[in-house]
Amino acid sequence: MTTERERRFVGPRRGQLVFAAVFVALSALLLVMLPEQTAWTKKTKLFAQPRFWPAVALGGMALFAALHLYRLPWKRVSRYDMREVRKWSEAVEYAGWFMAYVIMVPVIGYLPVTVVFVPALAWRMGYRSRGMLLLSVVFAVAVVILFKAVLAVRIPGAMLYEYFPSALRSFAILYL
């Protein structure tokens, strides 16, 4: 049973309630943590305070998210909302892949981790033919060469390189 107000709502319904509730909770949490994360300095004008603009931003986020939640015409989570939440969680998976990559590069090395992760992500995205996997390995090596040799990006050597003999260690730190 839907009310007249629910039927007149313009815009997509799926995920609105969950999004608004999560946004209110997250912005309120950040607002509560603000005194621990920022400082209030003496003899500084209000608009120059390190805490002022983050407080304004987080206060606005919390206020407007709460108003959005309050003004929604429905107050129950439906199965369509949960489908939308599942779609959102798929994006979190790729953030997890990225975090694993960032954690593993200083341990194992830029080239080996890139050569493993790019084909693994290609496989995960559905490119499972031998040619596409080979192309992803070539792409990974090309990216490492571009960043290390052409752009001269300084990427720290891996902890694994400490166990190599000295000549191989210096080569690995410079080129891998």
Query: Tokens 């709460």 identify what position?
Result: 66
Q: Are 8 and 70 within one domain?
A: yes
**Averaged pLDDT for residues 58-86:** 88
Q: Are 68 and 114 within one domain?
A: no
Average pLDDT, the chain: 87
Query: Tokens 């994006």 identify what position?
Result: 91
The answer to whether position 88 is within a domain reads no
Domain that holds residue 33: 1-77
* d(C-alpha 174, C-alpha 176), whole Å: 6
pLDDT digits (tens, 9 = 90+) for 48-58: 888 889 999 99
Q: How far is CA 62 from CA 14, 17, 24, 36, 45, in A?
A: 21, 15, 5, 18, 25
Examine the pLDDT at 2 and tell me if it is beyond 70: no
Q: Are 64 and 108 within one domain?
A: no
Q: Which of 17, 51, 77 is the last residue of a domain?
A: 77
Query: Tokens 């694993």 identify what position?
Result: 100
Q: Are 2 and 72 within one domain?
A: yes
pLDDT recorded at residue 128 = 95
Q: Are 64 and 115 within one domain?
A: no
* d(C-alpha 16, C-alpha 70), whole Å: 11
**What distance lies between CA 52 and its chain's CA centroid?**
26
**Is the pTM for the entire model greater than 0.85?**
no
pLDDT recorded at residue 126 = 94
The answer to whether position 109 is within a domain reads yes
User: Residue 56, class by beta-carbon neighbours within 10 Å (0-12 exposed, 13-18 middle, 19+ buried)?
Assistant: exposed
pLDDT recorded at residue 146 = 92
The answer to whether position 19 is within a domain reads yes
Angle, vertex CA 106, rays to CA 102 and CA 109, nearest 5: 100
pLDDT digits (tens, 9 = 90+) for 86-131: 888 888 899 999 999 999 999 998 889 999 999 999 999 999 999 9
| Number of domains making up the chain | 2
The answer to whether position 82 is within a domain reads no
Q: Are 66 and 15 within one domain?
A: yes
The answer to whether position 167 is within a domain reads yes
The answer to whether position 145 is within a domain reads yes
Q: Which of 16, 43, 77 is the last residue of a domain?
A: 77
Q: Are 107 and 68 within one domain?
A: no
**Averaged pLDDT for residues 52-68:** 93
Q: Are 105 and 51 within one domain?
A: no
Residues 92, 43 contacting (CB under 8 angstroms): no
pLDDT digits (tens, 9 = 90+) for 87-99: 888 888 999 999 9
Q: Which of 19, 50, 77 is the last residue of a domain?
A: 77
Q: Which amino acid is at 158?
A: A
The answer to whether position 85 is within a domain reads no
The answer to whether position 86 is within a domain reads no
Q: Are 48 and 107 within one domain?
A: no
Q: Are 102 and 153 within one domain?
A: yes
